[in-house]
Amino acid sequence: MLNSQSNIGIIGAGAMGSGIAQVAATAGHEVCLFDLNEKSLQNSKSKLAKIMSRLVEKGRVTIEESEAIQGRIKYVDGLSHFECCDLVIEAVVEKLQVKQELFSHLENIMKEDAVLASNTSSLSIASIGGKLKQPERLLGIHFFNPAPLMPLVEIVPSLVTDSSIVENVRDLIDSWKKITVIAKDTPGFIVNRVARPFYSEAIKMLEEGFADEATIDWAIKELGGFRMGPFELMDLIGHDVNYVVTETVWTEMYFDPRYKPALTQKRLVEANRLGRKSGQGFYNYNEESINAQPNKDEKLGNVILNRILYMLVNEAIDALFLQIASKEDIDIAMTKGVNYPKGLIAWGAEIGFDTILRGLNESFERYGDDRYRPSVLLKDIVNGKVTI
């Protein structure tokens, strides 16, 4: 039974694993952090020291609290140290075989009642646990980056995960001052599935010459109230990361056109124009003065916003239709996981579901592209067959 005294293991000392370790240690847990790369462990330790120093300067924590948090994290040199852990969360590379082999190894080290968890953003939890002797003790605990700041955590049970473990884990993560939602084990879970049109429809408008990056970003921020535009956000996330998630969801959804990746983004990855971290992506961060200025035509901006927003609402409605999560959890996930200004289902009701259905049908008629097909539930709502 997981509780405030449980020992937590984290595997992977990159930004995500280090962030989760910080969250667990701040909540009072003893934490073991492991990475195959000794340099990554040292970097994690030094970065945490700097973070804690800034928090002390800002008055967020005391010097004593800072020292206690850092002292609760042990940077270990092997998986044998995890035998005393009650919960282990892996945050390693998004490769199925790597995760399967890791958990098979952990299963032979850890206590029989210990809980195993993956921080995967899009891989199947059932597949990850497919080779375990006790797959019922594995589930997804998906944090968002940066883990100490982002409030949302998606809890993802597989078909065989013990239901008592799901509730126990949710209670534990709630006690870490996070906001949890339960998601079905489907590609992308809630956030990474529902958010795909935010990126893909923006790139489609760019590819067809409808508007440039700066204009699309301006419309989404200034008229839609989003904190970042899609091109700014993709550059920040990194195209190597964002494209792989899109491709994974598309492949796992049996190549459904709604999730089809864009060649434009693939070419950026191939050219190593990965965004901010490489100095250039959709925007040039080495010479920002050469980037185009937005066309602040409000009529054009509203068309841009509506094309993206209607598809986002449709995706959220379809997630509800397919019972991926509850209506409440879908809206919470999109506001707390990716900082959308409003929950998409509530936003759709505000706009009018009939207006959204009409817009999708017009796009489908114009392009003949199945990406614009309306959800069955959206049509049923507009036709008065169901209410939500």
pLDDT tens column, 200-255: 999 999 999 999 999 999 999 999 999 999 999 999 999 999 999 999 999 999 99
pLDDT tens column, 46-63: 999 999 999 999 999 999
Percentage above 70 pLDDT, the chain: 100
**pLDDT confidence band for 102 (50 / 70 / 90):** very high
Helix pair angle (38-57, 15-26), 10° resolution = 50
Separation between Cα atoms, residue 122 and residue 160, nearest integer Å: 18
Give catalytic status of residue 142 as yes or no. Answer: yes
pLDDT tens column, 339-377: 999 999 999 999 999 999 999 999 999 999 999 999 999
Separation between Cα atoms, residue 338 and residue 345, nearest integer Å: 15
Separation between Cα atoms, residue 93 and residue 332, nearest integer Å: 27
Tokens representing 57 are: 């300067």
Mean pLDDT over 128-150 rounds to 97
**pLDDT confidence band for 258 (50 / 70 / 90):** very high
pLDDT at position 334 over 90: yes
Asked if omega into 146 is within 30° of 0 (cis), the reply is: yes
pLDDT for res 163: 97
Which domains, ranges and CATH numbers included, belong to the chain?
8-182 (3.40.50.720), 194-229+240-262+290-382 (1.10.1040.50)
Give catalytic status of residue 192 as yes or no. Answer: yes
Residue corresponding to tokens 């250039």: 280
Judged by DSSP in three states, 6 sits in coil
52-61 contact pairs (CB < 8 A, 24+):
none
Separation between Cα atoms, residue 261 and residue 224, nearest integer Å: 24
Mean pLDDT over 99-121 rounds to 96
Q: How far apart are the first and last CA of the chain?
A: 36
Catalytic residue among 30, 90, 107, 154: 154
pLDDT for res 289: 83
Catalytic residue among 192, 200, 306, 314: 192
pLDDT for res 288: 82
Separation between Cα atoms, residue 68 and residue 160, nearest integer Å: 38
Catalytic residue among 40, 44, 142, 314: 142
Residue in 312, 307, 276, 300 with CA at minimum distance from that of residue 215: 300
pLDDT for res 324: 98
**pLDDT confidence band for 197 (50 / 70 / 90):** very high
pLDDT for res 122: 84
Separation between Cα atoms, residue 125 and residue 192, nearest integer Å: 15
Catalytic residue among 118, 121, 158, 242: 121
